Structure 1
Amino acid sequence: MDNSVWMLLVYCLIVCCGIMALVWLWAYKIRNAGVVDIFWSYNFPVIAVVLFFLAPGYHDRKVLICAMVIIAGVRLGTHLAKRVITHLHEEEGRYLQLRKEWAPNAERKFFFFFQFQAMSNVLLAIPFFISCMNTKNALSPLEYMGFILWFISVTGEAIADRQLAFFKKNAANKGKVCNTGLWSYSRHPNYFFEWLMWVSYSIFALASPYGYLALISPAIILYLLLKVTGIPATEEQAIRSKGEAYKRYQESTSVFVPWFKKQ
């Protein structure tokens, strides 16, 4: 690969790590590590802006892929910000659990956790780097296919997020499990469409040299969602807070793919 790729990687890593260091200071002050989720999402648009202005690729391709990243990242980050900022004084259960497990060195471990999030931003952005380095002055069918799948996935994720927010807004649903709309088919339709979005980025990047490397991103996202910080942590917290109601919900729904409903 061109040396300019490595320079762009370094620039983006410095910026993302710097942002997360500042976010950690804020989180330390307010004792709410949940703010990391907001800026993990916002870091992708930051990377897209850096690539748009500094990467040597074909202008129209950069416009399209960077617009996709910015729209998706700002939408998700703002959605999370609305959720987190409304209860800054109350840390989300997942992070409360980590705080307990990491005591008495929780704040130091959270600093490294935030930095790891910044590094994951750059690693997952591989499809963006690959696409923005491509100087071929025409878009390919793969790139149009990637855009169409991106549109479907971002729309699906937005619908799932809106349905959950609407459910939680109703005071009568306090303590209940959201099982309406897409949530009646899948326990995590938002995660499913988030993963599908990363598949769309990798499809887009396949039209460029070294595009096969972009497949790393959806593979990592899928592993994280299914095995690490996504579904396992979310469901453990749901069981702690909702108990048997959530266990019954688990028995009637798909864990991930929202295309069928258990009878």
Structure 2
Amino acid sequence: MNLWLMILYGWLSMSAVMALLWLLQRKTGDAGIVDVAWGMGVGLLTLFFVWGRHDGDMTRRIVLAVLAMGWALRLSGYVLWRVMTMPEDGRYQTLKENWGSAAQYRMFWFYQLQAAGSLLFALPMLIAAGGKSPFGLVDLAGVLIWLVAIAGELTADRQLSRFRANPVHKGQVCREGLWNYSRHPNYFFEWLHWWAYVCLALSAPWGWLTLFGPILMLHFIINVTGIPPTEAQALKSRGDAYREYQRTTSAFFPWLPRSKQVTT
């Protein structure tokens, strides 16, 4: 299938799905469903791209499909559980408050932006699926990166969920396990995961373009939809405790914490 047609079909499909989910969030009042669809969209688009690219090495295409869908199922499943069991994410509550009477109009275009985002982050898989060389050591390194990243995300999510489940910790800041070395270990391992597809794409024509995947993800996490709104919400709910956490703990890359302030 023509690559440009595949990209067009992928964008139209995600745009239609996000429009339907926008209608659903109007009914439920919870905009968090967009995060479920974004990740699953990347996984399903990868399956479509892998199926459509008959010119690539079969082993690499199968590995890409397994890794991308494994990631999508884990992420979207976890977010769906949060959407169904917890109040609406504070980030979306803040957006609606700031947008006022134009909230639903702007939310529609926000959902469409997420549709474009799903397509954008599935494009590295489209490139990687065209690699013709046999599956090799660099590809294997990509699989190992994926395993480390997913294990890290699972561990960070489990540690945070266990901390929040204890009522004694209400209003406190999680510093358990990985959260003692990074304020956002889940985001760090999410970013690390995107390097797996760079390794799988390096042997493909234009494979170097997949470097923009982790670069863009780093930008979004640090400057746009990741850390800034998450920390703004944390400061509102935890105040000085979170400010101290910001002072002592690396924002993104895991590192040894700085010493805490001693009060007298």
What TM-score, normalized to structure 1? 0.95
Task: Tell me the equivalent position of 1:217.
Answer: 213
Q: 1:53-78: CA deviations, max 9, x gaps?
A: 22222221111011000001110110
Deviations, residues 163-191 of structure 1 (Å, cap 9, x unaligned): 11111111211111111000011100000
Say if 2:78 is the partner of 1:99: no
* Contact 2:183/2:249 (8 A) holds in 1: yes
Structure 2 unpaired stretches of 5+: 260-264
CA contact (8 A) 2:42 2:121 kept: no
Q: Which residue of 1 aligns with 2:138?
A: 142
Aligned mates of 2:200, 2:146 — CA distance in 1 = 9
1:40 is matched with which residue? 38
What residue in structure 1 maps to residue 168 of structure 2?
172
5 Å matches for 1:52-67? Answer: 52-56=50-54, 57-67=56-66
Which residue matches 1:10? 8
In 1, Cα distance between equivalents of 2:257 and 2:195: 24
Deviates more, 1:11-20 or 1:211-220: 11-20
Q: 1:76 is matched with which residue?
A: 75
CA contact (8 A) 1:27 1:35 kept: yes
Matched position secondary structure for 2:101: coil
| Aligned-partner Cα distance in 1 for 2:103–2:141 | 44
Distance 1:105 1:186 in 2: 36
- Find 1:231's aligned residue among 227, 230, 235: 227
Letter in structure 1 aligned against 2:9: Y
Identical aligned residues as a percent: 37
1:100 Cα deviation (Å)?
1.1
Contact 1:126 1:213 (C-alpha < 8 Å) held by counterparts: no
Give the structure-2-normalised TM-score: 0.94
1:108 aligns with 2:105: yes
Q: CA RMSD in A?
A: 1.2
TM-aligned CA deviation for residue 259 of structure 1: 3.4
> SS of 1:103's equivalent?
helix
**Is the 2:132–2:203 contact (alpha carbons within 8 Å) kept by the matching residues of 1?**
no
* Contact kept? 1:125, 1:217, Cα under 8 Å: no
SS of 1:254's partner is: coil
Aligned-pair CA distance for 1:45: 1.4
Q: Could you tell me how far 1:115 is from its partner in structure 2?
A: 0.7
Cα distance in 1 for partners of 2:64, 2:182 equals 29
Q: Which residue of 1 aligns with 2:124?
A: 127
In the TM superposition, what is the alpha-carbon distance from 1:126 to its structure 2 partner? 2.0
* Cα deviation digits, residues 3-44 of structure 1 (max 9, x gap): 721111112112211211111111111111111111111111
Distance 1:141 1:210 in 2: 19
Tell me if the contact between 2:96 and 2:103 (Cα under 8 Å) persists in the aligned partners: yes
CA drift of 1:219 comes to 0.8
The answer (yes or no) to whether the contact 1:195–1:218 under 8 Å persists in 2 is: yes
CA contact (8 A) 1:160 1:190 kept: yes
CA contact (8 A) 1:154 1:197 kept: yes
Question: CA shift at 1:252, angstroms?
Answer: 1.4
What is the CA–CA distance in structure 2 between the aligned matches of 1:126 and 1:142, rounded to whole Å? 19
2:192 aligned with 1:196, yes or no? yes
